[in-house]
C-alpha cells in the first residue's frame, strides 16, 4: 500500500505505479516491457510520460481515479498502445479497443509482450461488436477516443461497468467543436454524461494536454 | 445458447476463436470467464485468459491485414482518377488557350495560360464563357493535386516499402496496373519490370518489336537517370527489389530499411560502370 503521509493531499497511486527518479526527475512509472522509447531504470521500471498520456496526466495531477491495481479494464481509443501498455502493467485483464487499423498493428506488438492485454479492432460506438468478448462487471472504463460524441460513447459503454466501477475519461474540446469555447464543450459533455453517470471529479489537464478535461465518474 | 466468442470455437485452435472474435456479436456482455469454465472451454480463469489472448491477437492481426489490403483498392482508384483529371485538364486547357487567344493578346501557353485566364475579369459575353471554362479546368487541376496529396498520405501506410522505394505515386500506379497489392506481390519481377508496357510487349510477342525493357518504372529516377546502355540492368534491379517490397508489404507490412540500402548499393554499382568507362 502507498504511504499516506508522503502522498499528502494527492490520491494514492494504484499498486504497481510508482514515482521513481529518471534523469534526476521524479516521474510516474510502471514495470513492464518497453514500448515507445521511454526511459527504463535498472529494475525494469519504465517512465510513464504524462505529456503523452491523458491517464498519466490525471494521475500526475492527483485526481482520485479509484484505481488500486489489478482491476479489470476496458480501454477505448487505445491507439498504438502508449497508455494502455502502462495500464496493463499494473491492472488485471485489460481489453483495448481501437478502430484504426494502422495503430492496431503496433498495439498487437505491445500485447505480444504482455499476457493480460487483449487488442480489439472494433468501433467503440458499436459495443455489441465486442460485447461477446469483453466480460461484464469491468472495474474501470478508460476513454480517450478524441472524436465527436465522446459522451455518447461513454453512455453506450456503461453496460460493461460494475455498479461500483469507475469511468476515467479524457475529453478533447476540439474534437467536439473546433469553434466553441472549451468550457462550453465540457459543460455539454458533462451534462450528457450525467444521464448515466454520477460525476465524482473533473480537472483541466492543460498542464500536460491543452484544452482537455479529465473526468472521474461512476455509474448511476 | 450463448453469444460468447468461444461458443462453437475449438478450444485448441486459436484460429477458430479468432474468427468468432472478429465476426461475433452480443447484445450485452456477461461473465464470460465463468461461462467458459462452466462450458468446459477453459480449465480455469488463467487458462481462459490465455486462450482469449491467442484469439484476440490472431483476430486483430488478421483484421488489420485485411483492412489495410482493402486500402490498396482506394489507392488504385485514386491514381487512375488523378491521371484522368490531369488528362482532361490538359484537353480543356488546349481549348481554353486556343479560344482565349482570339479574345486576348497575351495568353501564356498550356496550364499556366489556363490559370491566367481563369483569374481574369470578363468584360464581354464571350470572355465570360472562356473565363468560366478556364475555371473548370483549374478546378480539375486542383482536384488532381488533392488526389496526389491523398495518394502521398495513404501509400506509405498501405505499402510502406513499395512507397518508399517507388515513391507514393509510382507505387499506386504499380498497384493499379497489377490489379491490387496482392496480385502485385504474386507477380514475377520480370512482369513488374514491364507493367504498363503491355502494348510494346504485345508487339514483341507478335514478332513486330524488340522486348520492352521497362514499363511505368521508367519514370523512376533509378531508370531514367541511368545512361541508356545500362537502363536494362537498372530496370531489372529496381523491378526485383520492388517485387520483394510488394511481398513484404502484402504479407507482413514491416518496414525494412536494409532492402532500400541493398537497392542503393546495387544502383551505385551499375552507375559506376559509366564512370569506369569514362576513366579508361
Ligand atoms: C488521442 S488517441 C488515443 C491515445 C491513447 N489513448 C494513448 O494515450 O496512448 C484517440 C484514438 O481514438 C481512436 N478512436 C476514435 N474514435 C474511435 C471509435 N469510435 N472507436 C475506437 N477508437 C476510436 C482514434 O483512432 C485514436 O487512435
Residues in chain B: 280
Domain residue ranges of chain A, discontinuous segments joined by +:
49-219
Residue A158's CB: how many other CB atoms inside 10 A?
Answer: 18
CATH H superfamily, domain A49-219: Vaccinia Virus protein VP39 (3.40.50.150)
CA closest to A121 among chain B residues? B60
Question: Which atom of ligand 1 is nearest the CA belonging to A83?
Answer: 9
| 3-class SS of residue A17 | coil
The average confidence (pLDDT) of chain B is 91
Q: Cite the DSSP H helix spans in chain B.
A: 14-23, 32-38, 45-101, 110-118, 125-158, 160-166, 168-178, 181-186, 189-194, 198-205, 221-224, 231-251, 257-279
Distance of CA A146 from the midpoint of ligand 1 (Å): 6
- The Cα of A60 is separated from the nearest Cα of chain B by a number of Å equal to 30
Distance of CA B34 from the midpoint of ligand 1 (Å): 30
pLDDT at A3: 42
Residues in chain A: 220
* Closest CB to B56 among A105, A119, A160: A119
Mutation site for B-interface testing, chosen from A111, A121, A124, A219 by largest number of B Cβ within 10 Å: A121
Assign B65 a pLDDT band (cuts: 50, 70, 90): confident
The average confidence (pLDDT) of chain A is 93
* Closest CB to B64 among A93, A105, A133: A105
Strand-pairing partners, residue B65, are none
Contacts of residue B72 in chain A, CB cutoff 8 Å?
A: none
Distances (CA, A) of A135 to A59, A104, A169, B15, B63: 26, 21, 20, 21, 21
User: Which residue is closest in CA terms to ligand 1's atom 27?
Assistant: A79
Residue positions forming the annotated binding site of A: 82-83, 98-99, 123-124, 144-147
- The Cα of A161 is separated from the nearest Cα of chain B by a number of Å equal to 10
Predicted confidence (pLDDT) at residue A168 exceeds the cutoff of 70: yes
In this structure, the residues whose C-beta lies within 6 A of any atom of ligand 1 are: A 53-54, 76-79, 82-83, 97-100, 103, 123-125, 144-147
In the numeric block, which cell numbers belong to residue B10?
A: 475449438
| Nearest alpha-carbon partner for B20 in B50, B59, B53 | B59
Distance of CA A21 from the midpoint of ligand 1 (Å): 30
Mutation site for A-interface testing, chosen from B56, B65, B71 by largest number of A Cβ within 10 Å: B56
The Cα A14–Cα A65 span in angstroms is: 9
User: Which residue is closest in CA terms to ligand 1's atom 7?
Assistant: A83
Assign B77 a pLDDT band (cuts: 50, 70, 90): very high
| 3-class SS of residue A165 | strand
Helix axes B110-118, B45-101, angle to 10 degrees: 80
Say yes or no for a CB contact (<8 Å) between A111 and B56: yes
At which residue does the C-alpha cell 518504372 appear?
A: B217
Contacts of residue B26 in chain A, CB cutoff 8 Å?
A: 128, 131-132
- Sign for the pseudo-dihedral over CA of A55, A60, A66, A71: positive
pLDDT at A213: 97
pLDDT in tens, B210-240: 777 788 999 999 999 999 999 999 999 999 9
pTM value is: 0.66
Residue B278's CB: how many other CB atoms inside 10 A?
Answer: 7
Percent of chain A predicted with pLDDT > 70? 95
The CB-side HSE value for B147 (13 A sphere, CA atoms) comes to: 22
pLDDT at B14: 86
The A residues from 96 to 115 touching B (CB cutoff 8 Å) are 101-102, 104-105, 107-108, 111-112, 115
| Nearest alpha-carbon partner for B251 in B77, B70, B66 | B66
- Could you tell me if A79 and A145 are in contact, meaning their C-beta atoms sit under 8 angstroms apart? no
Cβ partners under 8 Å of residue B182, min gap 6? B69, B72, B250
Say yes or no for a CB contact (<8 Å) between B29 and A105: no
At which residue does the C-alpha cell 546495387 appear?
A: B266
Residue positions forming the annotated binding site of A for S-adenosyl-L-methionine: 82-83, 98-99, 123-124, 144-147
Say yes or no for a CB contact (<8 Å) between B5 and A160: no
Distance of CA A148 to the CA centre of its chain: 18
Check CB contact of B4 with chain A, cutoff 8 Å.
yes
Which of A64-73, A201-210, B59-68, B185-194 is the least confident region? Answer: B59-68
pLDDT at A10: 63
Residue A15's CB: how many other CB atoms inside 10 A?
Answer: 15
Which of A145, A153, A169 has most ligand 1 atoms within 8 Å of its beta carbon, as the pocket-test mutant?
A: A145
pLDDT at B198: 79
User: Which residue is closest in CA terms to ligand 1's atom 10?
Assistant: A145
pLDDT in tens, A117-152: 999 999 999 999 999 999 999 999 999 998 889 999
Distance of CA A49 from the midpoint of ligand 1 (Å): 17
pLDDT at B280: 64
| 3-class SS of residue A166 | strand
- Sign for the pseudo-dihedral over CA of B132, B134, B138, B140: positive
pLDDT in tens, B255-267: 888 999 999 999 9
Predicted confidence (pLDDT) at residue B55 exceeds the cutoff of 60: yes
Check CB contact of A55 with chain B, cutoff 8 Å.
no
The Cα A156–Cα A219 span in angstroms is: 12
pLDDT in tens, B108-165: 888 888 999 999 999 999 999 999 999 999 999 999 999 999 999 999 988 999 999 9
pLDDT at B1: 53
The Cα B62–Cα A180 span in angstroms is: 40
Q: Is B29 left (phi over 0), alpha (psi -120 to 50) or beta?
A: beta
Amino acid at each position: 500500500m502507498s504511504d499516506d503521509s508522503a502522498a499528502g493531499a494527492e490520491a494514492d497511486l494504484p499498486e504497481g505505479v510508482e514515482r521513481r527518479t529518471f534523469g534526476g526527475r521524479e516521474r510516474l512509472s510502471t514495470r513492464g516491457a518497453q514500448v515507445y522509447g521511454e526511459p527504463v531504470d535498472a529494475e525494469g521500471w519504465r517512465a510513464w510520460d504524462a505529456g503523452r498520456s491523458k491517464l498519466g496526466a490525471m494521475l500526475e495531477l492527483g485526481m482520485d481515479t479509484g484505481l488500486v491495481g489489478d482491476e479489470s479494464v476496458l480501454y477505448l481509443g487505445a491507439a498504438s498502445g502508449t497508455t494502455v501498455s502502462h495500464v496493463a502493467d499494473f491492472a488485471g485483464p485489460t481489453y483495448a479497443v481501437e478502430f484504426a487499423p494502422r495503430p492496431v498493428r503496433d498495439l498487437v506488438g505491445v500485447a505480444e509482450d504482455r499476457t493480460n492485454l487483449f487488442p480489439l479492432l472494433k468501433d467503440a460506438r458499436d459495443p455489441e461488436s465486442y460485447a461477446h468478448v469483453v466480460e461484464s462487471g469491468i472495474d474501470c472504463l478508460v476513454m480517450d477516443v478524441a472524436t465527436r460524441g465522446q459522451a455518447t460513447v461513454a453512455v453506450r459503454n456503461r453496460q460493461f461497468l460494475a455498479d461500483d466501477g469507475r469511468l476515467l475519461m479524457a475529453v478533447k474540446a476540439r474534437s467536439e467543436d473546433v469553434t466553441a469555447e472549451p468550457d462550453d464543450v465540457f459543460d455539454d459533455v458533462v451534462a450528457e454524461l450525467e444521464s448515466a453517470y454520477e460525476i465524482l471529479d473533473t480537472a483541466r489537464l492543460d498542464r500536460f494536454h491543452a484544452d482537455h478535461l479529465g473526468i472521474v465518474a461512476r455509474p448511476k | 445458447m450463448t453469444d460468447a466468442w468461444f461458443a462453437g470455437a475449438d478450444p485448441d485452435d486459436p484460429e477458430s476463436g479468432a474468427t468468432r472474435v472478429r465476426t461475433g456479436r452480443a447484445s450485452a456482455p456477461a461473465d464470460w470467464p465463468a461461462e467458459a469454465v462452466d462450458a468446459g472451454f477453459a480449465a480455469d480463469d488463467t487458462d481462459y485468459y490465455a486462450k482469449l489472448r491467442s484469439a484476440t491477437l490472431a483476430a486483430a492481426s488478421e483484421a488489420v491485414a485485411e483492412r489495410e489490403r482493402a486500402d490498396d483498392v482506394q489507392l488504385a482508384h485514386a491514381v487512375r482518377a488523378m491521371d484522368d483529371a490531369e488528362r482532361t485538364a490538359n484537353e480543356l486547357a488546349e481549348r481554353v488557350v486556343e479560344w482565349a487567344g482570339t479574345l486576348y493578346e497575351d495568353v501564356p501557353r498550356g496550364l499556366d495560360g489556363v490559370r491566367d485566364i481563369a483569374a481574369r475579369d470578363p468584360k464581354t459575353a464571350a470572355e465570360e464563357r472562356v473565363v468560366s471554362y478556364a475555371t473548370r479546368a483549374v478546378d480539375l487541376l486542383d482536384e488532381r493535386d488533392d488526389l496526389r496529396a491523398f495518394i502521398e498520405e495513404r501509400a506509405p501506410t498501405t505499402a510502406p516499402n513499395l512507397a518508399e522505394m517507388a515513391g507514393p505515386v509510382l507505387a499506386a500506379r504499380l498497384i493499379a496496373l497489377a490489379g491490387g497489392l496482392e496480385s502485385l506481390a504474386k507477380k514475377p519481377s520480370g512482369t513488374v519490370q514491364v507493367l504498363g508496357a503491355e502494348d510494346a510487349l504485345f508487339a514483341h510477342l507478335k514478332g513486330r518489336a524488340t522486348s520492352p525493357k521497362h514499363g511505368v518504372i521508367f519514370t523512376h529516377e533509378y531508370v531514367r537517370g541511368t545512361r541508356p546502355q545500362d537502363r536494362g540492368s537498372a530496370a531489372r534491379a529496381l523491378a526485383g527489389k520492388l517485387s520483394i517490397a510488394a511481398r513484404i508489404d502484402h504479407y507482413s507490412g514491416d518496414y525494412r530499411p536494409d532492402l532500400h540500402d541493398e537497392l542503393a548499393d546495387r544502383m551505385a554499382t551499375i552507375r559506376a560502370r559509366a564512370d569506369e568507362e569514362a576513366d579508361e
